[in-house]
Amino acid sequence: MTVRAWGELLRVSALFTVPGDALAGAAASGRRPDRGTALAVGASLCLYEAGMALNDWADREEDAIDRPHRPIPSGRIAPAAALAAAGALTAAGLGLAARVGRPALAVAAGLAATVWAYDLRLKHTSAGPAAMAAARGLDLLLGATATGASGRARGAWAGAGAGEGPASGRGPDPAARGSVRGALPAAGLLGAHTYAVTAVSRHEAHGGSTSAPLAALAAVAVLGAAAVREQRGRCGAQRTDPHAANGKQGGPPGPHPSHRSPASPDPTTPGFVRTALTSSYFRTAAVPLLHAALNPSPPLTQRAVGGGIRAMIPLQAALAARAGAVGTGLGVMGLVPIARTLARKVSPT
């Protein structure tokens, strides 16, 4: 019973929507996943679970009325234990990010601050959906910043010997800036989806809103149209990283595939893969949203929110494929059956 209670508190069925953020960020930055990506995934998981525990701690009085079956109001988990778990998980997430480097730690700190601000203050304000969207966007940018960080650090130390680079005090590593810039469009698309789902979730306890699911349905259609297009000019981060060209990132010497001209065809990203992944995203999110729009009852609204949460996985996969990382996208899609199976046992909302 204790294990199940913690599983409900931490929304373990929604946990599998998190790794794809960092992987999509790595793909959008033009780099292959590496040790830094793995650490970013670990940091993301910890910060996400910290947010889940803190959310229920902050909503414990409201849940006692609307959701008395939740772990804290039902007495299965003490409020102090949930708050302590939130603090410990936040510290663990920041610790993992710190192992990657200062840029990743800075992004993770911003993500942690956004999560705590949302749960403790912004959730029930008009800024709530925007805060949640910012958290998802930062999570994707964390993956972009962490990927390739070790190679950039070696370049910084080498450049410092010649009076160049961030170690010489002449400014941030341009490769790190390139990674973030390349991932900004993907972060914006994921954040927009999160905004739409969060706006619907504000009505899941009582239902009654037709406009929120209709607006989210329109947003899903627009996002799907954007995700199915191949990302252009995705080589900014690679161009600024001299170590990617000479094989120091772990790949073979010579030009990286991302050095192709933005106008040239990309044989590694067949359009049908992007179309299939985007179709899965649209189907997963749109069908329950349409049902909620036609009948805005609490159960159907909650189902629409759950569908929107699960739809993040195919969206992340589509964003990775959009950036040319078809294998990463298909790997992310492997999380779908796990999330679907766990959702039958533990609600993601």
What pLDDT was estimated at residue 178? 58
Q: Terminal CA-to-CA distance of the chain, rounded, Å?
A: 19
Q: What is the largest CA-CA distance in the chain?
A: 66
Other residues' Cβ atoms within 10 Å of the Cβ of residue 229? 11
What was the pLDDT predicted at 244? Answer: 40
Assign 232 a pLDDT band (cuts: 50, 70, 90): low
Per residue in 280-299, pLDDT (tens digit) is: 999 999 999 999 999 999 99
Confidence category of residue 229, pLDDT binned at 50, 70, 90? confident
- Give 346's pLDDT tier (boundaries 50, 70, 90): confident
Closest CA to 194 of 112, 275, 274, 139: 139
Q: What angle do CA 84, 343, 196 make, to 5 degrees?
A: 80
**Does the pLDDT of residue 267 top 80, yes or no?**
no
Tokens describing residue 17: 């929507």
Tell me the average pLDDT across 69-82. Answer: 96
Q: Which two tokens stand for residue 2?
A: 């204790």
165: left (phi > 0), else alpha (psi -120 to 50), else beta? left
Percent of the chain with pLDDT over 70: 80
What are residue 300's phi and psi, to 5 degrees? -75, -30
How far is 335 from 24, CA to CA, in rounded Å?
Answer: 14
Instruction: Please identify, in words, the CATH class of the domain defined by 2-149+175-242+267-343.
Output: mainly alpha
pLDDT in tens, 166-187: 444 444 455 556 568 889 999 9
pTM metric for this prediction: 0.83
CA 185/CA 187 separation, integer angstroms? 5
Q: Give residue-wise pLDDT tens across range 43-72.
A: 999 999 999 999 999 999 999 998 899 999
pLDDT digits (tens, 9 = 90+) for 86-133: 999 999 999 999 999 999 999 999 999 999 999 999 999 999 999 999
Q: What local confidence, expressed as pLDDT, does residue 152 receive?
A: 66
- Residue 181: predicted pLDDT: 85
**Contact predicate 240/213, CB 8 Å:** no
Give pLDDT, residue 258: 41
Q: Which two tokens stand for residue 59?
A: 């909503």
Q: Which amino acid is at 58?
A: A
Convert the pLDDT of each residue in 117-128 to its tens digit.
999 999 999 999
Sign of CA dihedral 130, 338, 214, 206: negative
Q: Which amino acid is at 101?
A: G
Instruction: Compute CA distances 91 → 94, 117, 156, 221, 333, whole Å.
Output: 5, 16, 28, 38, 29
- Number of neighbours of residue 233 by Cβ within 10 angstroms: 13
Q: What is the pLDDT of residue 263?
A: 36
- Kindly report, residue by residue over 23-32, the tens digit of the pLDDT: 999 999 989 9
- From the list 258, 128, 107, the residue with the least C-alpha distance to 187 is 107
Q: Compute the mean pLDDT over every residue in the chain, rounded to the nearest whole number.
A: 85
Between CA 168 and CA 162 the distance in angstroms is: 9
**Helix, strand, coil fractions of the chain, as percent rounded to 5:** 70, 0, 30
Average pLDDT on 340-347 reads 85
Domain boundaries, the chain: 2-149+175-242+267-343
Residue type at position 194 = T
